[in-house]
Structures are given as C-alpha cells and as structure tokens.
C-alpha cells in the first residue's frame, strides 16, 4: 500500500541518527552530560555538610569511594550498559520503556489505569520535578563562585542567575541539535578542565587513588553505621543526570552517548572527585568549597567561574531536553492534553521543542532561585525526585526483560533486586531531607501525577461514552436508507478515536440536521507503541457502503499527525474525484457537567474539563485547514 508523501517517518530510518558519529558525540557532550558533568561543583561540598563527618583521611577516602562506585554502578552499569539496550526504535526514557510492554500491562478498562502505567506516570512526574530543580541549582552553584572570588559580588549572584536562566530558556527554540553543536566545545573544555584540575590536585596526595577500592566505601558504613547512610542523600547528586541521559537517547543515539560517557565524561568526573578529595587532605581548609579551592584566588577563580557558568547553563539542557521528550511522549500516549510541539531537526526525529513546557519550566526555575537564594538550600530538595524515578525505572525494566525480552522470571527478578539494591538506599537517604526541601519535588511530582492520571482516566471514560453513543455500521446504513438525509457535495471527514462503528458526532449530524456529505471518511488517527510508523503501515482505507469509508491513519508516539495529507492520499486510494477545497473536517466538541452522577467524581471531572478546554486546538494539532473545520458540540457527564 502506498503512503502519504508528507508522513514524518522515513523508510528504514525511523529513530535513526544521521551524520558523523564524532558530531553526534560532540552534540551529546553538549546536551546529555551537562547535568551530571557539573555535579562536581556542589556534590563533594554537600557530602561534607553532614554533622558526623569530620575531615579525616578515612572519611575523605570513604566519600571518594562512594562517589566512584555510584558513578560506576548506577550510571555506567545500569544506564549506559543495561537500560540503553531497552529502546523503542531509538527512543529512550521511562515513557519509551513502558511502550515496549504488551497492551494489557499498559491499559485497564473503564477509566482505570494499569499498575505499570501508574508506575510510569509517577516516575515521569518526578522527573518533571527534577527538571525544575536542575537548572536552578546548577546555575546558582556556579554563580556562587563569584562570592568566593570577591565578597562584594555576593548581592549580584541571584540577579545574574535569573538573567542566565532567562537567556537559556529563550534559546531553546533553536533545537537541541544546534544547541549541542554550540555547547559541545564548551563541555569538552569543561570536562578537560575538571579532569586536569583533578589530576593536578592528586599529585599532592597520590594515595587518594586507593579510594577507588570498594573497601573504603564499606569501611565508611562500618564506622558510621546507619546514621552514616544519610550521606547517600548527597552522594546521589553525583548521578542525577543518569535518568536524563536515558531519556535523551532519542536526540543523539545509543552509540554516541556511550562513546561520550566512557571516553570523556566518566574518566574526567572520576579525576575531579579524586582531585577534590586530595585537595582537602592536603589542605583541610579547602573543605568549605573543594571545587573552587583547586585554583588560586583571583583571576584563576574568575576564569573558572566563567567556564562553570557556561557549563551549568549547558547542564540544564539535558533535563530540559528530557522534559521535552517526556512531554511529547506523554501527550501522544494520552497522559497529557495536547500542546503544540515543534520538530527542530530534519535529520533526527527525536529533536523537538515544546513551548509550553519550556516556559513553564522557566517560570518554576526562576521562582525557586528567588525563594531559596542559595544552592545549599536547593541541594536538600535535589535528589529525591530523581532517586524515586531511578527506582521506578528499574521496576518497569523488570517487566521489559521478563515480558518483552523473554527472560525467565527468576532471572529478571534477580536483576530487579540488584538494581533496587542501588536505587532504594539513595531514595531512603533523600527522604530524610524531605522537610528540608525534599517536599518540593514531591509536591511538584504529586501535582503532575494527579493531572496525568486524571486526564488518562477521563479520556478512557470519554472514549467509552462516545463508543456507546455511536451505532453499528449496518444499523446506520439501514437508518439512512429508511430516512435519506440531504447529501451535501464534497467529502466530510469525521474524526473519531474509535476504529469501529459510527461515531456519535456523525449520528448527531444525520439525526438532528438530516444532512450527510456525498462522501464520508470516518477517520481514526492511532498512536502506536513505536516512536515511528513504517510508511507501508501508515494508511488503511476500507469502503463501508453508501459513500462511507473507514480510514485508519497510524502514527508513532514521536510523530506529529498530518491529517490533511493523509486525507488527500486516502481520496486517491478510494478512487474519488474530490478536490482539496471540497473537504470538510467534522470534529466533536464535548463540554463536561462535572457532577457526582457520573463515574468520575465532580472534582476530578472538573479538572479533566479544565485540561480538555486548555488543550491545543485540534485543527492546529492535527494540522487541519481551519477554514474547513466544523465543530459539533455536546454535553457529557463522565
């Protein structure tokens, strides 16, 4: 079967990444590793804030060991080696992970939500919360270096941070590909700088390299016991970019991200943390700010602050890009209402820009900076969201290995236990900081969880209501034979979410207005579990009789539906002589009564009604010519 020429998916290249690997590696360094790459600015310092932790050699060795093994086990082993194998045609992240599962694990009847979908929504909601905090803490921590260089500059730290954040979000519309090319060289300079500084610092205390042995991490817990485990709430700051790394896989691809991590980011981070430990051991006064203490005060500090400022702007990019991907995937999978999305690359389908998500994040980040004023206060809020998401991702990965990869259940369960053995201690430690700021990402995540579950359940109930309000095809054809409606010239495209039966909006046209177009397409735009749909599977046209046709158009969850193009192609396939101007697109418009008589509570239905009213205009979302759109409304109580 032929395919609409304007469909987004390309044969054999869906989810592929074109261009030289070196360019993609550079782009990945500029976008994907910004968050985790700037963690050395504040992570070691936060580890030393724990009251029981004095600056002794045993404690410093223990912290360096914990940081090294966290990077190795969580990022290198879990995310880079394992989870990046679980992609949906190139797309990564927790939303892509759930789409790999059979439908029965993702959906439930009568507006209920399957257990795995609940997990995924919770994980995505927490990651959204993390995306709010990352830009704020990253840029603010870099700007605080000015206060170390010159006490008189402290009043300018917050205004400069706000200005940088405004500029960062303002340039997002350029797309992650162009930003990666812009940011890549800066991040290469940053990684070489922190790696070089770390290596130089270790020359003063070369024995620090012994801390790479896991015995020092174990000795730390042996000495401090359960109270000492609270330090994991700060150690987790070193791995907060892991989830964004996975979610950003669709922007650059698996191989470039792995090369960038193993060849550049990982070794330089290890050098940086080892160097900070060595610096403190050789000069205990450096514990107040171990990162900036690696350079002499004065001009060198200003230069490092300038580079750190550029790097932390880039650090925010990984989470921002991940939020764009998650938002787009959540919309296409029915967890969020439609919003406008722009594709920013003709070569890489996964590179997108979501204006509403961008400016929502901007407002939230700037508000946090103005409220908290200091990165150390924000650090208490950081980590809980991403450690929660890490645990949820492990749980969903268990279902993928078992139900999709066909592993024996015991083998999948063993892997789950191993992964949760990494995730749960971090999550428990960050929960200890709940009242010190950890409540912030939790509240943000909880709010998004309520929104996403309510919208998903409301759409399911609405779909069932509309299906019940329609009619079987033979009954409808018999009805229009008994009482023929006035046939209007041209083609009416009646859009419906169901691939069977006659939709309620078409029933209202014939029963209330006694009119019907000469030709009618009952069109359903399906979102498949894959990110892209192969060209030959894009369109299906089935004649129903009496001028009616069933048209099914399929799109991947990373594609934008181009309905007008699909309709023109379906006209040719159906053998009709209808011009583009003779097509009328008929949409149903529901308003909700929000009472307690339906299956949803009045409060939840009111929220669903608000979300539905504020969704993007269907004619814009489906790229329909607005002058050819007809909307027919009805009132519904779910």
Q: Could you list the residue range(s) of the whole structural domain that residue 418 is in?
A: 21-458
Average pLDDT, the chain: 82
257: CATH: 1.20.1740.10
Domain boundary, last residue among 430, 458, 486: 458
For residues 247 and 606, the model is more confident at 606
Given pLDDT bands bounded at 50, 70 and 90, which one contains residue 356? confident
Q: What is the largest CA-CA distance in the chain?
A: 95
Share of the chain above pLDDT 90, in %: 23
In this structure, the answer to whether residues 67 and 32 fall within a common structural domain is yes
Q: Is the pTM of this model over 0.85?
A: no
In this structure, the answer to whether residues 495 and 446 fall within a common structural domain is no
Q: What average pLDDT score do residues 546-565 get?
A: 86
Given pLDDT bands bounded at 50, 70 and 90, which one contains residue 5? very low
Domain boundary, last residue among 402, 436, 458: 458
Give a yes or no: residue 74 inside a domain. Answer: yes
Least confident of 100-109, 138-147, 299-308, 533-542: 100-109
Q: How far is CA 434 from CA 43, 380, 429, 439, 636, in A?
A: 18, 8, 10, 5, 41
Give a yes or no: residue 3 inside a domain. Answer: no
Strands, sheet with 629-636, edge to edge from the N-terminal-most edge strand: 539-545, 548-555, 515-527, 486-495, 583-592, 629-636
In this structure, the answer to whether residues 368 and 405 fall within a common structural domain is yes
Give a yes or no: residue 568 inside a domain. Answer: yes
Give the residue from 441, 559, 465, 501 showing the smallest Cα distance to 128.
441
Domain count, the chain: 2
Give a yes or no: residue 39 inside a domain. Answer: yes
In this structure, the answer to whether residues 418 and 503 fall within a common structural domain is no
Give a yes or no: residue 260 inside a domain. Answer: yes
Give a yes or no: residue 416 inside a domain. Answer: yes
The confidence score (pLDDT) of residue 9 equals 33
Q: How far is CA 565 from CA 62, 82, 352, 579, 583, in A?
A: 61, 40, 21, 13, 12
How many C-alpha atoms does 346 have within 13 Å on its Cβ side?
Answer: 1
The confidence score (pLDDT) of residue 604 equals 82
| E strand or H helix at 488 | strand 486-495
The confidence score (pLDDT) of residue 17 equals 53
Give the residue from 235, 311, 266, 251 showing the smallest Cα distance to 84.
251
Task: Please give the structure tokens belonging to residue 212.
Answer: 């790479």
In this structure, the answer to whether residues 433 and 576 fall within a common structural domain is no
DSSP string, 591-608: EE---TTSSS-HHHHHHH
Would you say residue 89 has pLDDT above 80? no
Give the residue from 239, 250, 393, 381 showing the smallest Cα distance to 321.
250
Give the residue from 72, 76, 127, 142 showing the smallest Cα distance to 97.
127
In this structure, the answer to whether residues 480 and 451 fall within a common structural domain is no
In this structure, the answer to whether residues 409 and 546 fall within a common structural domain is no
Residues 97 and 132: their CA atoms lie apart, in Å, by 23
DSSP 438: T
Phi, psi of 520 (to 5 degrees): -135, 125
Would you say residue 50 has pLDDT above 80? no
Give a yes or no: residue 108 inside a domain. Answer: yes
In this structure, the answer to whether residues 77 and 45 fall within a common structural domain is yes
- How many Cβ atoms are within 10 Å of 367's Cβ, its own excluded? 13
Given pLDDT bands bounded at 50, 70 and 90, which one contains residue 52? low
CB 140 within 8 A of CB 161: yes
Give a yes or no: residue 335 inside a domain. Answer: yes
Would you say residue 264 has pLDDT above 80? yes
In this structure, the answer to whether residues 439 and 586 fall within a common structural domain is no
Domain boundary, last residue among 397, 426, 458: 458
In this structure, the answer to whether residues 492 and 447 fall within a common structural domain is no
Given pLDDT bands bounded at 50, 70 and 90, which one contains residue 4? very low
In this structure, the answer to whether residues 174 and 201 fall within a common structural domain is yes
The confidence score (pLDDT) of residue 413 equals 94
In this structure, the answer to whether residues 399 and 496 fall within a common structural domain is no
Q: What average pLDDT score do residues 500-510 get?
A: 84
Q: What average pLDDT score do residues 154-162 get?
A: 87
């Amino acid at each position: 079967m032929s395919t609409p020429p304007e469909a987004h998916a390309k044969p054999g290249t869906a989810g592929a990444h074109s261009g030289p690997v070196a360019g993609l590696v550079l782009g990945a360094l500029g976008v994907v590793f910004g968050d985790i790459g700037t963690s050395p600015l504040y992570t070691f310092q936060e580890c030393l804030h724990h009251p029981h932790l004095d600056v002794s050699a045993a404690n410093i060795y223990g912290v360096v060991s914990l940081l090294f093994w966290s990077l190795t086990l969580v990022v290198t082993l879990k995310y880079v080696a394992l989870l990046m194998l679980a992609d949906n045609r190139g797309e990564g992240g927790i939303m892509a992970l759930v789409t790999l599962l059979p439908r029965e694990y993702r959906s439930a009847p009568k507006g209920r939500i399957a257990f795995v979908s609940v997990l995924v929504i919770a994980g995505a909601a927490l990651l959204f919360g993390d995306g709010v905090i990352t830009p704020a803490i990253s840029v603010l921590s870099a700007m605080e270096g000015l206060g170390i260089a010159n006490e008189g500059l402290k009043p300018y730290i917050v205004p400069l941070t706000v200005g940088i954040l405004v500029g960062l979000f303002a340039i997002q519309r350029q797309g992650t590909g162009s930003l990666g090319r812009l940011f890549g060289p800066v991040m290469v300079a940053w990684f070489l700088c922190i790696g070089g500084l770390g290596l130089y610092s270790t020359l003063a205390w070369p024995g620090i390299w012994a801390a790479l042995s896991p015995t020092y991490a174990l000795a730390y817990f042996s000495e401090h016991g359960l109270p000492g485990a609270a330090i994991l709430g700060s150690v987790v700051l070193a791995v907060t970019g892991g989830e964004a790394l996975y979610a950003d896989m669709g922007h650059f691809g698996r191989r470039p991200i792995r090369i960038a991590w193993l060849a550049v980011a990982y070794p330089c981070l290890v050098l940086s943390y080892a160097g900070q430990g060595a610096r403190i051991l050789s000069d205990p006064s450096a514990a107040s700010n171990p990162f900036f203490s690696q350079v002499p005060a004065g001009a060198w500090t200003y230069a490092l602050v300038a580079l750190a400022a550029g790097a932390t702007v880039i650090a925010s990019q990984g989470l921002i890009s991940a939020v764009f991907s998650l938002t787009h995937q959540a919309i296409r999978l029915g967890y969020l209402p439609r919003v406008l999305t722009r594709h920013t690359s003709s070569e890489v389908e996964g590179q997108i820009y979501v204006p509403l998500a961008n400016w929502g994040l901007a407002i939230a980040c700037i508000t946090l900076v103005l409220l908290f004023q200091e990165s150390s206060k924000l650090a208490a809020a950081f980590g809980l969201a991403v450690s929660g998401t890490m645990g949820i991702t492990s749980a969903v990965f268990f279902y993928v290995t078992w139900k999709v990869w066909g592993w024996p259940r015991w083998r999948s369960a063993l892997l789950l236990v191993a992964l949760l053995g990494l995730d749960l201690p971090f999550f428990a430690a960050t929960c200890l900081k709940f009242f010190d700021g950890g409540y912030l990402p939790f509240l943000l995540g909880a709010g998004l969880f309520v929104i996403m579950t309510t919208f998903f359940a409301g759409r399911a109930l609405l779909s069932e209501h509309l299906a019940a309000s329609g009619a079987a095809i033979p009954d409808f054809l018999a009805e229009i034979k008994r009482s023929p409606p006035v046939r209007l010239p041209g083609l009416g495209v009646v859009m419906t979410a169901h691939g069977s039966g006659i939709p309620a909006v078409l029933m209202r046209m014939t029963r209330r207005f006694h009119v019907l177009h000469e030709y009618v397409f009952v069109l359903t735009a399906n979102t498949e579990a894959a990110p892209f749909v192969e060209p030959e599977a894009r369109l299906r046209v089935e004649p129903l009789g009496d001028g009616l046709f069933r048209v099914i158009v399929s799109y991947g969850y990373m594609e934008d539906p181009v309905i007008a193009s699909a309709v023109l192609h379906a006209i040719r396939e159906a053998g009709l002589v209808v011009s583009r101007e003779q097509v009328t697109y008929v949409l149903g418009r529901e308003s909700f009564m929000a009472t307690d008589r339906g299956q949803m509570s009045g409060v939840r239905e009111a929220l669903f009604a608000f979300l539905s009213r504020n969704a993007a205009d269907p004619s814009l979302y489906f790229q329909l010519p607005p002058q050819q759109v007809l909307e027919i409304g009805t009132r519904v109580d779910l």
